[in-house]
Amino acid sequence: MAFLYFFAVWANVTPRGLNLWFWGRIARFISRFFRHDRAIAVENVTYVLGIDEGNARKVFAGTFENFAKNLVDLAYVAGPIRRSPASLIKISPDDFAIIEGTMDAGKGVIGITGHLSNWELFGGYVASRLGGIHVIAREAYDRHTDRLLRYLRGRMGVTSIYTDEPASVGASVVRGGGFLGTLADLNVSGLPVVTVEFFGRPAATPIGPALLARRTGAPLIPMCIVRKPDDSYRIYLSEPVASADTGDVRSDLAADTQAWSTVLEGWIRRYPEQWIWLHDRWSVDGANSGK
């Protein structure tokens, strides 16, 4: 894994524009050889977005390019020469006021997003505005990659809470008035889920964020980051999810989970090349097992 460390340093100390151009094109080229992943992605894209196979393959190649650019920018900001994420990101002052106003009142915030564009850089930006945040994370399959990610997150003021840690760890962050970020757009094995409609298809979706918001009283705010054509980023925030209150806890959790999933779906439809289509997102194994 020495290549990862070399890449992180190289992307940090060399011109950003050149790296984005070079690695973006390399990624598009090598995407041709990931035939199994391409088959999964093309099947998902054609079914969900209703486009033909040729255009679906373009979306897949674009996903590879975007991911490579994300790694370049993460290293550019959090590598040996540390830079502010704000130098790459645009956001309406009114949008971030939703977060700052809540936290100024002493309440915590649960920010929910998906694997859309550069979610790691997004966390770094929020941390730079708030003086540090916590995020729920899965341990990377490779320990070297996980170590590097933890290092880069730490450089940006982001602390990881892994999914195998007690739920009370995240709850304590929120109850203490902190910001807790989570990516919940995949069906993660071992986590309680509920079935919601995602792009018109049933999808098992974690109920943890909705449950945590209900137990702590913290607002659950859908948000995302997207790459613009000039390779800057734009952050979008939605209004906090209104908690359903029918008296049926399971039904209410499903309704809250559906609400934020629908918001995220809208952003993915606008920027399909920036979402990860490689997962079996529409599996419903274990769905409705949340308590």
Q: Hey, where are the domains in the chain?
A: 87-274
Coil, strand or helix at 221 = strand
pLDDT at 247: 85
What residues contact residue 114 under an 8 Å CB cut-off, 6+ apart? Answer: 183, 184, 185, 224, 264, 267, 268, 275
Average pLDDT, the chain: 90
User: Sign of the C-alpha dihedral, residues 171, 175, 181, 183?
Assistant: positive
Q: Quick one: which of 283, 274, 278, 284 has its CA closest to 70? A: 274
Phi first, then psi: give them for residue 177, nearest 5 degrees: 85, 15
List pLDDT tens digits, range 165-181. 888 999 999 999 999 99
- Residue 281: what residue type? R
pLDDT at 290: 43
Core vs surface per residue 84-119: b (16+ CB within 10 A) or e: ebeebbebeeeebebbeebbeeebbbbbbbbbbbbb
Res 10 pLDDT > 50: yes
Coil, strand or helix at 287 = coil
**Where residue 6 falls among pLDDT bands split at 50, 70, 90?**
confident
List pLDDT tens digits, range 215-237. 999 999 999 999 999 999 999 99
Segment holding 81, helix H or strand E: none
287 compared with 198, residue with greater pLDDT? 198
pLDDT at 285: 60
pLDDT at 173: 96
Question: Two tokens at 39?
Answer: 């088959």
List pLDDT tens digits, range 70-122. 999 999 999 999 999 999 998 887 788 888 888 888 889 999 999 999 999 99
Res 288 pLDDT > 60: no
Res 1 pLDDT > 70: no
Core vs surface per residue 152-181: b (16+ CB within 10 A) or e: bbebbbbbbbebeeeeeebbbbbbeebbbb
Res 289 pLDDT > 50: no
CA angle (179, 181, 185) in 5-degree steps: 155
Q: How far apart, in whole angstroms, are the C-alpha atoms of residue 238 and residue 260?
A: 9
Coil, strand or helix at 185 = coil
Average pLDDT score over residue span 202-215 = 93
Q: How far apart, in whole angstroms, are the C-alpha atoms of residue 124 and residue 154?
A: 9
pLDDT at 92: 81
Q: At what angle do helices 208-216 and 249-270 cross, to 10 degrees?
A: 120
List pLDDT tens digits, range 23-58. 999 999 999 999 999 999 999 999 889 999 999 999
Average pLDDT score over residue span 187-214 = 90
Q: How far apart, in whole angstroms, are the C-alpha atoms of residue 35 and residue 219?
A: 41
Q: At what angle do helices 143-155 and 53-78 cross, to 10 degrees?
A: 60
Burial class (CB in 10 A: 0-12, 13-18, 19+), 239: exposed
**Where residue 291 falls among pLDDT bands split at 50, 70, 90?**
very low
Average pLDDT score over residue span 136-143 = 82
